[in-house]
Amino acid sequence: MIKTAIAESLKKAIEEIFKLSDTEPSVVESPNKQFGDYSTQVAFQLAKILKNDPKKIASDIKNALEYNSNFERIEVVGGYINFFLKNEFYHKEIEKVYSEGEEFAKLKHVSEEKILVEYVSSNPTGPMVIVNGRAAALGDSFIRILNWRGYNAIGEFYINDGGNQVYLLGLSCNEMYKKLMGMPYEIPENGYHGSYIEDFVKLMMEKSDLSGMDDKSRSNYLGEEGVRYFHAMQIKSLKDFGVIFDSEIHEKRIREEGLTEYVIKTLRDKNLIYEKDGAIFFKSTDFGDDKDRAIIKSDGKYTYLLPDAAYHEDKMRRAFDYLIDIFGPDHHGYIKRLKAIFKALGHDPDKLEILIHQIVNLVNEGEKIKMSKRKGNIITLDDLIDDVGKDAARFFFVMRKKNSHLDFDLKLAKEKSENNPVFYVQYAHARISSIMDFAYSKGIKLNEYIDFSLLNEEKEIELIKSILLLPDILDDAIRMREPAVLPKYLIDLSSSFHSFYNKHRVITDDTELSMARLALVQCVKNTIKIGLNLIGVDAPNKM
C-alpha cells in the first residue's frame, strides 16, 4: 500500500527525469527512525545504467518528488533516499481502512488469468501424515491470498490411483489378510505395515467374503477399495483442517481418456523418445535436463513422469493460463524433467511453476519423534489436530518459510502464553473484542465519521503504519510465493497493538479521542481477522 505508492511515485519521477520506463524501484521500511519511515536505494541501481554518481541521481529524484504533499521531507544520505511521511497522510489512509472494514486489502479482478494450484496430492495409501499437513496449509493459504488480492486461483488434488503404490497397497492388504487368518504371510519390505492397514482389512473382512478370492483377485480388490477408503479418509482430514479443494482429478481417468498414449505418440512423432535395455526414454537432455529419463520401465510399467506429463497436458486442455505445483521434500530433481516434458508437449515452460516445501519434524520436550508411513509408526494429521488444534497446526505450518525444515514444537503449540505465536495473535484479537464490548457498555458506539487527526502519539502512528502494511505483505507473499510473511506480520501487528495498549487508554474522558482510538483498534481487529482467515485460522472474540 504505502511502499507501492512510493514506488509508483519513484517510477514516475525516474521516467520523467531519466527517460527510463522499465525501472522497478524497491522501497523498504527504514530500520531506524532517523532515516525516515521508508527508504530506497534505487539511485545505486540507476548509477550502473546512467554511469553517474548515485548521490547526484538521488538528489535529482528528491527534487522531483518534493512537490508531493504526503512527504514531511525527503533526505538524501549518500545515495539513499529517505522518506518522512506526514501524520496527515497516515490519518487519510487509516480512514480508508476503517471504511473498508473486513474487506480491507481485498481487490477485484486484478487478472483474468486462470491459475491452477495443485497441492497435497498424496498417494491414497493411508491417512494424511504431518508433511501432508504442511503442504495443505501452504497451498490453501496461498490460494486464499491470491484470491483476496484479485487473482483467479483454484486448488486441485491429484489422486494417484493408477501407479505402483496402489499395487503395493493391495499386496500389503492381502498379506495382512493372511496374517489375520493365521496363514503364512510376508508383507513386502517396501509395502505398508501400519495399524491402519490392519484396521482397513478387518473392515473389509466384515463387508466382503474375501476367503473366496485367490491372491491376485483379493489383492486387486483390496487395492481398489483401499484407494477409495483412504482417499475419503484423507479428504475428511483435510476438511477438518479447513482445506476444501475446488476439484479432484484421478490418474485413472487420465489414463482411460488416452492421455498417456497421447504423450507417447507426441514424443515419438517429435523423435523425442528411444528404447534402451527394454525401457523407453524421453530425451530430456534436449531441454536442459541432466540426463534422459525413463518414462516406461523394462517391465512395461510407467514411471511417475509419464502419467504426470499426461496430467499436465490435461491441465492445459482445461484452459488454465498458469500452473503452480507444490511438491514435497526430495522433489528438486523432478523439476527439470517435468518442465522438459511439458515443453516437449508444446507448452510454454514459463507457465509451469514448481514450488518445494521441506520436511516437518515433530518435537516433544526437545526430542524429535521418528516417523515412517510404511513402517506404520506415524502420527497422522488427525492426531496433530486432536493434540494441538487446527489453528495452532495451521499457523505453525505456515509460520516458517517453505524451503526451511520445520521443527514443530508440540509443547509450545499448546501453551496459552505470549510465547505461543498463534495464541499471542488470537489474544490480541480477543482483547480488542473485550475493549469494544466495554466501550459499548459505556454507551460509546462507533459511527461513520471519526476524527483520525486526533491520533498523533508515537504509538498511535506506529500502529497505523503496521495496519497499512497488510496490502504490501500480501503482495510480497504472492511475489515471493511465501505465505510465511503473513504470520510474521500478524505477530508484529499484535506486538504493535500491545505496545500501544500498554501506554494509552482507549476509553478516556475525551469522547472524540476515545472514538478515534476505538476506531483504530477496530481496524487492528479487522486486520488480524483478515490475516488469520487467509491462513485458515480462527479469530476468536473470547479466550
* Confidence at 402, pLDDT banded by 50, 70, 90: very high
Find where cell 516433544 sits: 364
Task: Say whether pLDDT at 371 is over 80.
Answer: no
Domain ranges for the chain, please list them.
2-85, 93-109+417-534
* Confidence at 11, pLDDT banded by 50, 70, 90: very high
* Confidence at 375, pLDDT banded by 50, 70, 90: low
Give pLDDT tens digits for 188-211. Answer: 988 998 899 999 999 999 999 999
Give pLDDT tens digits for 418-451. Answer: 999 999 999 999 999 999 999 999 888 898 899 9
Cα gap 429→425, rounded to integer Å: 7
* Confidence at 374, pLDDT banded by 50, 70, 90: low
* Confidence at 165, pLDDT banded by 50, 70, 90: confident
Per-residue model confidence (pLDDT) at position 330:
85
Q: For residue 388, how far is the Cα from the chain centroid?
A: 20
Task: Say whether pLDDT at 372 is over 70.
Answer: no
* Confidence at 377, pLDDT banded by 50, 70, 90: low
Find where cell 483401499 sits: 226
Question: What one-character DSSP code corresponds to residue 370?
Answer: P
Mean pLDDT (whole number) for 96-101:
97
Cα gap 471→139, rounded to integer Å: 20
* Confidence at 33, pLDDT banded by 50, 70, 90: confident
Q: 533: which 3 cell numbers?
A: 482467515
Tell which wins on pLDDT, 225 or 375.
Answer: 225
Mean pLDDT (whole number) for 308-324:
98
Lowest mean pLDDT across 98-102, 192-196, 274-278, 279-283: 192-196
Cα gap 182→119, rounded to integer Å: 41
- Give the global pTM: 0.94
The set of residues, in sequence order, having a beta carbon less than 8 Å from that of 404 and lying 6+ positions away, is 358
Give pLDDT tens digits for 491-519. Answer: 999 999 999 999 999 999 999 999 999 99
Pairing of strands 360-364, 352-356: unpaired
Mention the CATH class of domain 2-85.
Answer: alpha beta
Which of these CATH numbers, 3.20.20.140, 1.20.210.10, 1.10.260.40, 1.10.730.10, describes 93-109+417-534?
A: 1.10.730.10
Side chain identity at residue 391, one-letter code: D
* Confidence at 37, pLDDT banded by 50, 70, 90: very high
Tell which wins on pLDDT, 2 or 459.
Answer: 459
Q: What is the mean pLDDT of the chain?
A: 96
Task: Say whether pLDDT at 162 is over 90.
Answer: no
Cα gap 246→157, rounded to integer Å: 8
Helix, strand, coil abundance in the chain, percent, nearest 5: 55, 15, 30
Contacts 24+ apart (CB under 8 A), 282-290: 282/337, 282/340, 282/341, 282/344, 284/336, 284/337, 284/340, 284/341, 284/344, 286/340, 286/344, 287/336, 287/339, 287/340, 287/341, 287/343, 287/344, 288/336, 288/340, 289/336, 289/337, 289/340, 290/336
Question: What one-character DSSP code corresponds to residue 303?
Answer: P
Transcribe 505-517 into DSSP letters.
-SS-S-HHHHHHH
Task: Say whether pLDDT at 35 is over 60.
Answer: yes
- Smallest Cα–Cα separation from 175: which of 226, 135, 237? 226
Same topology between domain 2-85 and domain 93-109+417-534: no
